[in-house]
Amino acid sequence: MKNERVLVTGGAGFIGSNLANHLADENEVVALDDLYLGTPENLHDDVEFVDGSVLDDDLPADVDVLFHIAALSSRNMHEENPQRGVRVNVEGFVNTVEQVREHGCDTVVYASTSSIYGSQTEPCPEDMPVHAATGYEASKLAREQYGEYYSDFHDMSMAGMRFFSVYQGYGGAEEHKGEFANLIAQFADELADGEAPVIFGDGTQTRDFTHVDDIVRGLELAADHELDGIYNLGTGESYSLNELVEELNDRLGTDIEPEYVENPMKNYVHDTMADPSKMRAATGWDPEISFDEGLDQVCAQYR
């Protein structure tokens, strides 16, 4: 993308700020965030920051492209306040798309989630059955349905991107998320501080860990190609939490066993793995940062 005016909602958060900073090199970028999960400190000086909510009536909507990343991104946030989850994740999505559409924007790339696949140990294609087992997943499925509506009814390019376990580490823009940060970031920080990471169950659960730099490239490519429909952004490889702790210990020079506790979460997703072939065929996208390289980057700040 070059010389476009871009709105990134959730733009001061983890993924949003990485995207906004990247795009600002060659575009005019506005980052909107209500600072519930974000901080302006994540943003470079050449990004215009607007303190506001996706529920506002006067969004900075005069843009060429909308990247809608804003969301209550944790299942716990939704279970604690389902009404707020719907307002932010669904109403906020519709409100933002409506406002940019009225200004002539017809290219939207938005965040969905891989959680709707449930527990899967084989690569998940986008056309497999999905299910809303939590309020968070229901809100993202509703977002995808509205994306389909805007595509069919208003002829907009609506690219829904299903993220798989996005990480960067506390050396990047994840630190402010604290308990809501990816497990890679949390476990690395705990081990570096001599603390035992807590694992629900026996540690055999697996995740398709995808570095935020690869996510950002995928989002930009989705806009460049004016993609429409649903696309996975994941590596197609999965690693268990036990493997994760072992690899982090090795890099940090520690030897700390995790603490295993009974899993308190209902409808817990035990395993995730993407099938990224649709995205690859549409744009040529492939993840460039391997699990090993990503862990090296996460742990570099502690050496």
Annotated catalytic residues are 136
CA angle 227, 230, 233 (to 5 degrees): 90
Contacting residues for 15 by C-beta, under 8 A, at least 6 apart: 69, 111, 163, 166, 212, 215, 216
Residues with Cβ within 8 Å of residue 273, at least 6 apart in sequence:
120, 121, 122, 123, 124, 164, 206, 208, 234, 236, 237, 238
DSSP string, 225-246: TT--EEEEES-S--EEHHHHHH
Q: Is 114:274 a contact under the CB 8 Å cutoff?
A: yes
Contact status, residue 115 vs residue 162, Cβ threshold 8 Å: no
The strand pairing partners of 210, in sequence order, are: 166
**Backbone φ, ψ for residue 22 (5° rounding):** -65, -45
Q: Residues 245, 249, 252, CA angle at the centre, nearest 5°?
A: 135
CA distance 206 to 217: 24
Does the CA dihedral 272-269-13-251 come out positive or negative? negative
Q: What is the DSSP letter of 75?
A: H
Do residues 44 and 59 touch, judged by C-beta distance below 8 A? no
Cα angle 246, 247, 253 (rounded to 5 degrees) comes to 85
The SS3 of residue 223 is helix
